[in-house]
A = this chain, B = another copy of it.
Amino acid sequence: MSAEIESIESLLEKNIKGEELSEVRRILYGKELKSVHIPDKVTQLAISKDFEVKAYAFEATPEQLRPPGTVRVGLIQNKLVLPTDAPIKAQIEALHQRIGDIIQAAAECGVNIVCMQEAWTMPFAFCTREKHPWTEFAESAETGPTTKLMQELAQRYNMVIISPILERDDAHGEILANTAVVISNTGAVLGKSRKNHIPRTGDFNESTYYLEGNTGHPVFQTQFGKIAINICYGRHHPQNWMMYGINGAEIVFNPSATVGSLSEPMWPIEARNAAIANSYFTCAINRVGTEYFANEFSSGDGKPAHKDFGHFYGSSYVAAPDGSRTPGLSRTRDGLLVVEMDLNLCRQAKDKWNFRMTQRLELYAESLTKAVRPDYQPQVIKE
Contact = CB atoms under 8 A, between A and B. Distances in A.
User: Which of A1, A20, A31, A379 neighbours the largest number of chain B CB atoms within 10 Å of its CB?
Assistant: A379
A273 interface: yes
A263 B31 CA distance: 11
A27 B261 CA distance: 10
Contacts of A364: 239, 242-243, 368
Contacts of A361: 239, 368, 371-372
Contacts of A184: 383
Given A276-B270, A371-B246, A199 B16 contact: no
B15 A355 contact: no
A121 interface: no
Nearest to A365: B368
Nearest to A8: B27
Count copies of this chain in the complex: 2
Nearest to A328: B27
Contact of A226 (B191, B212, B226, B380): B380
A362 B354 contact: no
Given A16-B15, A200-B357, A369 B365 contact: yes
- Interface range, A side: 35 or more
B23 A1 contact: yes
A382 interface: yes
A382 B197 CA distance: 25
A277 B191 contact: no
User: Which of A20, A30, A221, A365 neighbours the largest number of chain B CB atoms within 10 Å of its CB?
Assistant: A365
Given A20-B11, A273-B273, A218 B383 contact: no
B357 A236 contact: no
A29 to B, nearest CB: 7
A156 interface: no
Contact of A360 (B196, B266, B354): B196
Interface in A94-152: none
Interface string A255-269: 000000001111011
A84 B295 CA distance: 70
Interface string A8-48: 10011001100110111011111100000000000000000
A217 B379 contact: yes
Contact of A324 (B200, B233, B265): B265
A176 interface: no
Contacts of A269: 269, 272-273, 276, 323
Nearest to A264: B27
B379 A186 contact: no
A198 interface: yes
Contact of A247 (B16, B26, B265, B379): B379
A64 to B, nearest CB: 15
A324 to B, nearest CB: 6
A354 to B, nearest CB: 5
A49 interface: no
Contact of A358 (B12, B191, B197, B360): B197
B30 A378 contact: no
Contacts of A365: 365, 368-369, 371-372
Given A265-B324, A368-B368, A233 B15 contact: no
**Interchain residue pairs A-B with the least CB separation, the first 8:** A238-B238, A30-B265, A273-B273, A365-B368, A247-B378, A266-B323, A239-B364, A191-B381
